[in-house]
Amino acid sequence: MQLHMATASKKSLLTLLEFEPDEIIHMLSRAAQLKRTRLVDDPPVFKGKTGVLIFEKPSLRTRITFEVAIHELGGHTVNLASESVQIGRRESVEDVARNLERWVHLIVARTFSHTTIEQLANSCSVPVINALTDAFHPCQALAFALTLREHRPDMRSTHVVFVGDGNNVCSSIMVLCAKLGYHFTLVCPTGYESPDDVLSACRAIASKTGSRIEISTDVHAALATATAVYTDVWTSMGQERESEQRKRSFRPLQLNRELLAHAPADALISHCLPAHRGEEITSDVLDGPNSVALDEAENRLHVQKAVIAHLCA
């Protein structure tokens, strides 16, 4: 995969790579403020405007939080069923984008291919927000960052350990850590690392922010200094044929009490959800006192409001 930036004149959120660290910090601060004043002092920054939601994949948290976010900012949503549009098949991505820009003020898209969302952003004059692609999930990373700030206000020497597949969520959290100067380690079996171009981009950023980006197969060593431990499903949407092989490869990395005994007692535990309980994480860990997964799920709403305000105000 080649990383590309949107070339349209407006700003979109596609990967987090297109945002400077101070912009990310500003959005996180704005999200915290919007959370404190929710339903009391919601800024009508999207009043009279419409956002369209295009979802090619199933969604609970992403779809609901974007609908609520747009509503609470004074706007209106249109849900565009992917089967009715058949974007890229019945009509080209570019033609869909050029039509939508005539009617709406924001496009939120969850697509299988990251190329699709790049084409949307490069073909229209309204902001486009990545609600998940096969390559990145930037809103999830922002929600994780807000959750970290809430639970660990002193963010010096933060070390995020991602245990599992180097997938889209992993890539976005890696980008976030590189941008904000957090140390990041991906622990995975050989062959399941993050894409080389993402890793290279993050290491280049880290050289300027003081972050450290590492890939390891030694989960015990990585966990020893973890501030937060993150995991995700071992088999993402579209990888179902690999499910049994992935279960065998990742089984030693299940987040359970025995494995987490190697981490600091106060290390935070999170998951982007939905979780396959009993596979990548056990229920007692996901529901345990160190888990912030539901806090992170809640924070999807607040960071997405902040992103919309940043892009569309």
CB atoms within 10 A of CB 309: 18
Active site residue 272: yes
Q: What is the identity of the amino acid at 18?
A: E
Catalytic pick from 30, 300, 302, 310? 300
Catalytic pick from 63, 137, 159, 302? 137
Active site residue 89: no
Active site residue 105: no
Catalytic pick from 110, 159, 246, 310? 110
Helix axes 114-122, 93-100, angle to 10 degrees: 50
Nearest to 138 by CA among 297, 13, 263, 243: 13
CA distance 104 to 102: 6
Catalytic pick from 159, 177, 188, 232? 232
Catalytic pick from 134, 272, 304, 312? 272
Catalytic pick from 119, 140, 254, 304? 140
Active site residue 312: no
Active site residue 232: yes
Report the Cα 98 to chain-centroid distance in Å: 26
Q: What is the identity of the amino acid at 121?
A: A
Active site residue 262: no
Are the C-beta atoms of 296 and 270 separated by less than 8 Å?
A: yes
3-class SS of residue 87: strand
Q: Residue 219: what are its φ and ψ, rounded to 5°?
A: -70, -35
How far the first Cα of the chain sits from its last, in Å, is 32
* CB burial readout 114-148, b (16+ within 10 A) else e: bbbbbbbbbbbebbbbbbbbbbbbbbbbbbbbbbb
Convert 248-303 into a string of H (helix), E (strand) and C (coil).
HHHHHHCECHHHHCCCCCCCEEEECCCCCECCCECHHHHCCCCECHHHHHHHHHHH
Nearest to 193 by CA among 220, 174, 221: 174
Are the C-beta atoms of 92 and 306 separated by less than 8 Å?
A: no
- As annotated, the active-site residues are 110, 137, 140, 232, 272, 300
